[in-house]
Structure 1
Amino acid sequence: MPTRRPSPLPAEILIAKTAVQNRTDTAHAVVNEIAVMRQGLEPSTPPPDGLGNLPLLVLTAGNLVDSDLVAREAERSGKDIEAEIELARIQRAEQDDLARLSINSRHIVVKNSGHFIMQDQADQFVGIVSEFADSLARQ
């Protein structure tokens, strides 16, 4: 993957972000999120049938599903290139499936971003989320 660039956020925002990330309640939220994800991974947990018309915005990290980038990173790190490409294809398909849960959804692959899209492509992230929120307000 591309090397991580310095954040474009102002220093005072980065300080505040770090402070929030290091709070006890943030740690508890992360633990709870992991517990809920594990529950969803249990074979006995049925997948949701659908979300109806619930607004849903799915953002996919482009660096994680771009076959060329994935292949280059796999080669660089000595991983099985074909397996890594297949995993990226599966991840993209799962994100597509997630977006199909709602008839009121958008799925956007954000290029040049990793897991933390909101940091890697902050301006684009804000633009996409703002546009989606504005479209909901017009409905």
Structure 2
Amino acid sequence: MNKMKVFKVLKKIVVTFFILICTLLIVGLIYEKHSRYKSEKIMPNGQLVEVANHKLHYYKKGENGPTVVFEAAFDPAGHLQWYNLQQEISKFATTISYDRSGILWSERGDNPKTGEKIAEELHSLLEQANVSKPYILVGHSLGGMLLRSFVSKYSDEVSGVILVDSQTPNDEEYLSPELYSMVNQGLPAGFLKFANATGVARLMFKGMFPDTGDYKYQNTVMPTLIHKSAHGVLEEQEEMNNLKKEANKIKSFGSIPLSVISAGDSQRFSSFIKDENLKMEMVNAWEMMQKDLLKLSTNSKQIRVPNSGHYINQDQPDVIIGAIKSMISETKLK
């Protein structure tokens, strides 16, 4: 008799839990559908151009001086990561940031996610934006690695390159198997697809930018448009090994001026590496990788930023602004 009562109680708990989960899923699906409807009312802050039979979105700020082109990291925020910097740099230069295909307001298109095709799409975008050449290229993390293809393909249109805590394509050579596996495991694709369909992703990425007035615009737009970026980012993750192999074949920028800006906060990996030995290994390996980036050009220099994490554009934006000013001066662009 007692066993029967226990069984009935457990059965009620399971049924109640099941009903609760189903209710939350239904609410989530309705919330997501409503949010996507609302997102269509948010107009792009830049312009759309036709590239390879699909539309790419770019944000231009400034009309004078040389053209500074920004390439974003492996990041669903796309050009929004550069938005605040552009407000400052546009005071002395023409600035262009954009969303790679499948990110934010840019359509996916049919081109494969290769460094070469990404470079071709960016080049076509710049041609249509009718901005002056040559360009100063600024790439953060994955964006820095992707710029290798652009430099290789259009070197005569590049006056300088600034890599902001850039990813290196041959990181396996610097890391132990355990650490390499840890840092390259990627995002949980299945969960993120589920989260994107049920509205959970909007909550996850709500605090992507600092909770300050300076980032009010990004914090408003990013959660609303996350569903547009989710598939594009996951596709880039799936192609990461191929992107690395492709970039690793490009070993030199010749004598094009190169500035390597490197984060130096020793605790910046603490959020995902708990083991102190592995954390120290990562710090040391990253420093070696950053130094080796200098070999890309015969005219290179490194700028270390001791108190910054990976997102130097948020932690120490003045360092990037200073590096761009210095690059303009060095290349004698007006």
Which bin holds the TM-score, normalised by the shorter protein? 0.5 to 0.7
Q: 1:39 maps to which residue?
A: 242
Q: 2:327 maps to which residue?
A: 132
Superposed displacement of residue 37, structure 1: 4.1
Give the stretch that moved more between structures: 82-91 or 31-40: 31-40
Instruction: Note closer, same or farther for the CA distance 1:131–1:34 as it changes in structure 2 (3 Å cut).
Output: farther
Q: 2:304 maps to which residue?
A: 109
The counterpart of 1:51, out of the listed 253, 273, 295, is 253
Instruction: Note closer, same or farther for the CA distance 1:92–1:78 as it changes in structure 2 (3 Å cut).
Output: closer
Q: Residue type of the partner of 1:15?
A: K
Stretches of structure 2 lacking an aligned partner (at least 5 in a row): 1-208
2:332 is paired with a residue whose SS is helix
Whether the aligned pair in 1 keeps the contact of 2:268 and 2:309 (CA below 8 Å) is: no
1:94 aligns to 2:289 (yes or no): yes
The counterpart of 1:122, out of the listed 311, 314, 317, is 317
Give the Cα separation in 2 of the matches to 1:32 and 1:56.
Answer: 29
Deviations 1:54-101 (A, max 9, x none): 2322111111xx4xx479x59xx9833222212211111111111211
**Bigger RCO of structures 1 and 2 (CA < 8 A, at least 6 apart):** 1
Whether the aligned pair in 2 keeps the contact of 1:55 and 1:104 (CA below 8 Å) is: yes
Q: Residue type of the partner of 1:96?
A: K
Superposed displacement of residue 21, structure 1: 4.7
Instruction: Note closer, same or farther for the CA distance 1:78–1:99 as it changes in structure 2 (3 Å cut).
Output: closer
Q: Residue type of the partner of 2:216?
A: I
Q: Residue type of the partner of 2:263?
A: A
Instruction: Note closer, same or farther for the CA distance 1:117–1:53 as it changes in structure 2 (3 Å cut).
Output: same
Whether the aligned pair in 2 keeps the contact of 1:70 and 1:84 (CA below 8 Å) is: no
Give the Cα separation in 1 of the matches to 2:250 and 2:297.
Answer: 11
Superposed displacement of residue 112, structure 1: 0.8
Q: 1:3 maps to which residue?
A: none
The counterpart of 1:14, out of the listed 201, 215, 236, is 215
State TM-score, norm by structure 2.
0.30
Number of aligned pairs?
123
Give the Cα separation in 2 of the matches to 1:29 and 1:49.
Answer: 27
Higher helix fraction: Structure 1 or Structure 2? 1
Identity %: 27
Instruction: Note closer, same or farther for the CA distance 1:47–1:122 as it changes in structure 2 (3 Å cut).
Output: same
Q: 1:80 maps to which residue?
A: 275
Give the Cα separation in 1 of the matches to 2:261 and 2:330.
Answer: 16
Q: Residue type of the partner of 1:132?
A: M
2:301 is paired with a residue whose SS is strand
Superposed displacement of residue 134, structure 1: 2.0
Give the Cα separation in 1 of the matches to 2:331 and 2:299.
Answer: 9
Higher strand fraction: Structure 1 or Structure 2? 2
Whether the aligned pair in 1 keeps the contact of 2:254 and 2:296 (CA below 8 Å) is: yes
Whether the aligned pair in 1 keeps the contact of 2:263 and 2:306 (CA below 8 Å) is: yes
Q: Residue type of the partner of 1:88?
A: V
State TM-score, norm by structure 1.
0.63
